Amino acid sequence: MRIGIDLGGTKTEVIALSDKGEALFRQRVNTPRDDYQATVQTIVDLVFLAEQKTGETGTVGIGIPGSLSPYTKRVKNANSTWLNGQPLDKDLARMLNREVRIANDANCLAVSEAIDGAGAGRSVVFAVIIGTGSGAGVAINGESRIGGNGNAGEWGHNPLPWMDEDELRYREEVPCYCGQKGCIETFVSGTGFGIDYQRLSGVHRKGAEIVSLLAQKDPIAGLAMSRYE
């Protein structure tokens, strides 16, 4: 059995797959924000829950919103900033008593789409993932290409091109967690969507709430959404 974990900034999900690729168990929980130890424990609990429900033991692979540095072997570039600088694979391997493999979530997406998804049969696949943050990965001939620093294809920290006057103001008001200004992720992400609405309205709302207001023809929600059109 193979156990996969999708570790996101908002949700963490486990899936257990048989050797034939059949889904045996699936569960999603909230990610404990700003708490590394609680995040590690959440992953461990989900793995053990999957094994309890299936009666089988599995290998473990995790997609994270960041990457392991080829040099320090610790997490870097994660918008879930409480993961940065942590030896996540080693901590999980110790608690689960087995090897744990970790890769960037967008790289996992790129490989998945290259093998049997929208990019099947293509030699080069560039895949964009948008959620709490925004990132991208590259697969060449069905294999992930991470580059010398482990972050090839990470378009989320390129500057947004051709900014208009409002976007230039936004860039100054909303710096990226990476320390730069104007990163695509600060505009094109669930977090950026919520920040933009709050900047326009003075009220903090989650993305789903903003979309609900949009359906009600709320003018501020419409203005926040117009950036994505």
Model confidence at 200: pLDDT above 80: yes
Contact between 92 and 137 (Cβ < 8 Å): no
pLDDT at residue number 185: 92
pLDDT digits (tens, 9 = 90+) for 142-171: 999 988 887 888 889 999 999 999 889 989
Tokens representing 213? 């207001």
Model confidence at 226: pLDDT above 90: no
Same domain, 42 and 10: yes
Alpha carbon 105 to chain centroid distance? Answer: 6
Contact between 187 and 156 (Cβ < 8 Å): no
Q: Produce one character per residue of 98-110: b if its CB has 16 or more CB atoms within 10 Å, e if not.
A: eebebbbbbbbbb
pLDDT at residue number 207: 86
pLDDT at residue number 138: 94
Same domain, 69 and 118: no
Same domain, 10 and 58: yes
pLDDT digits (tens, 9 = 90+) for 115-142: 999 999 999 999 998 888 888 999 999 9
Residue 7 to residues 14, 36, 125, 143, Cα–Cα distance (Å)? 9, 12, 22, 21
Place of tokens 């996992």: 108
Contact between 18 and 24 (Cβ < 8 Å): yes
Residue 37, Cβ neighbours under 10 Å: how many? 11
Same domain, 138 and 175: no
List the domain range (segments joined by +) for residue 142.
Answer: 107-157
Residue 21, phi-psi category: left (phi > 0), alpha (psi -120 to 50), beta (remainder): left
The three-state secondary structure class of 217 is coil
Q: What are phi and psi of 130, to 5 degrees?
A: -125, 120
Number of domain units in the chain? 3
171: CATH: 3.30.420.40
Average pLDDT, rounded, for the chain = 93
pLDDT digits (tens, 9 = 90+) for 41-78: 999 999 999 999 999 999 999 999 999 998 999 999 99
Contacts 24+ apart (CB under 8 A), 87-90: 88/40, 88/62, 88/64, 89/62
The three-state secondary structure class of 228 is coil
Same domain, 195 and 151: no
Same domain, 115 and 91: no
Q: What's the CA gap between 69 and 77, in Å, rounded?
A: 9
